[in-house]
Every structure is written in structure tokens, then in C-alpha cells.
Amino acid sequence: MEDFDQILKKIKAELVTAFGDKWKDLSSESKKDIDQFLGDSEDKLKRWTFLLANGAIDLEDYEWLLKSQKDVMLMQALYSAGISKLKIGHLKNKAIKTILSVVKTLVL
């Protein structure tokens, strides 16, 4: 498995791009929310990525575990900036797909 710090950097870069594409004028809020989520979830993401890389779980299990983190993605800065809960929900789904895509590319 590639160094997890590199994987985390790639995930962050992809999330910043994905969020920036959606709300260019809210990039600082997006970055705050991404940093908060990745900080809160780093240990779990690292453990799950290690399990995936070693074949202890499959990609479907990994995706399920990521989805279990949706409530941790508070997106408080975006919400405070006036983004609706529905749009934030869509953004959370996009974040999960982005993380899944990065990990699949770098780990499997």
C-alpha cells in the first residue's frame, strides 16, 4: 500500500477540486469542512484503507464504512454560508464517491 499520508493528500486534493467546481465562491468554507472531516476521520480511514489493501475487507465493505461516516461530515462552514442541507447531502455523497475513487486507484 502506498504511504497513507500520500493517499490522504490525494483525497484532500480531489475533494477540494470537487467542492471548488461546485462552489467556486465558497472555496475557503469548503476547505475548512474538508479539513475538519479528514481530521475527524483520519484514523478510521487509515485503518479501513489498510484492511482494504490487505484483503481483509472488499471494496463494497469499504464503501459501506465510508457511508457510515456521513454524519461526521458536518459541513458546518458551508451550511453557515447558506448552502441548503439537501445540497450538502449531495456533496457528502460526492465526497464518499471521491474518496472511494482515490483509494481504489491508489490501493487496489
Burial 6-37 (b: 16+ CB within 10 A, else e): ebbebbbebbeebbeeeeeebeebbbbbbebb
Give the integer Cα–Cα distance in Å for 46 and 33: 19
Could you say which residues of the chain have pLDDT below 50? Answer: none
Q: Which is it for the CA torsion 32, 99, 87, 16, positive or negative? A: positive
pTM: 0.88
pLDDT at 47: 97
Q: Are 43 and 73 in contact (CB under 8 A)?
A: no
- Expressed in angstroms, the distance from the first to the final Cα of the chain is 8
Which residue is associated with the grid cell 483509494?
103
pLDDT at 1: 60
Burial 63-95 (b: 16+ CB within 10 A, else e): bebbeebeeebebebbeebebeeeebeebbeeb
